[in-house]
Chain A
Amino acid sequence: GNSVTQMEGPVTLSEEAFLTINCTYTATGYPSLFWYVQYPGEGLQLLLKATKADDKGSNKGFEATYRKETTSFHLEKGSVQVSDSAVYFCALSANTGRRALTFGSGTRLQVQP
């Protein structure tokens, strides 16, 4: 079946540091890949997505590239801010059959001033 593995947290960084959160997946076919973010006290929000190999999703300074050869979708940001502190979830959706999302376990990011 489909699965998503992402690095465990918490990840603690100083403001303006470079961020990488690793995500790898297992799926049949060619899934779509997503990063969702959950800010403290708020619901899950879509951060970015990529629907085919080599696509790069980007939003709010975050980027992730769909790498089919390494089955990865690592999240990066060049300079984090305190306001980026949140839990980040990598997820995939199969492009056939059930379209429900398969999530990783989440990575908590804490950015210190």
Chain B
Amino acid sequence: GAGVSQSPSNKVTEKGKDVELRCDPISGHTALYWYRQRLGQGLEFLIYFQGNSAPDKSGLPSDRFSAERTGESVSTLTIQRTQQEDSAVYLCASSLGEGSSYEQYFGPGTRLTVT
């Protein structure tokens, strides 16, 4: 079946502009995660959605970052007034439920370059 998809695959933007990144999770997956991967580094957690619960936003690096999820479907990550340090690959993952017994399936990522 279809995996996690993300769009766009690449985004180049000028410093100060807003960007919106999209994630389509696997159908039926209630949990959705956003991570950021800077060059040569591991993934950093950004935000987590689980069903209708309030999202865990504890990983968002600043108030320029926000995310929404419509029910148990698509999610968008918005970065306002982008800065060069926002350049990274943004990865989305989904899983059937909460907890380590549920494998997280990752999308291919969106490579964001802020010039």
Residues of A within 8 A of B (CB): 4, 31-32, 36, 42-46, 49, 51, 89, 91, 93, 95, 98-106
Contact = CB atoms under 8 A, between A and B. Distances in A.
A43 B42 CA distance: 14
Given A4-B42, A44-B91, A106-B42, A100 B106 contact: no
Interface residues of B, number: 27
A89 B48 contact: no
Interface string B85-115: 0000001010000111101101111000000
A43 B107 contact: yes
Contact of A99 (B3, B44, B48, B107): B48
A10 B91 CA distance: 23
B101 A101 contact: no
A102 B45 contact: yes
Contacts of A100: 33, 35, 45, 48, 56, 59
Contact of A101 (B40, B45, B108): B45
A89 B107 CA distance: 16
Contacts, number: 63
A95 B100 contact: yes
A103 B43 contact: yes
Nearest to A94: B100
B109 A51 contact: no
A40 to B, nearest CB: 12
A95 B101 CA distance: 9
A99 B42 contact: no
Contacts of A32: 100-101
A36 B48 CA distance: 19
Nearest to A8: B40
B41 A105 contact: yes
A104 B37 CA distance: 11
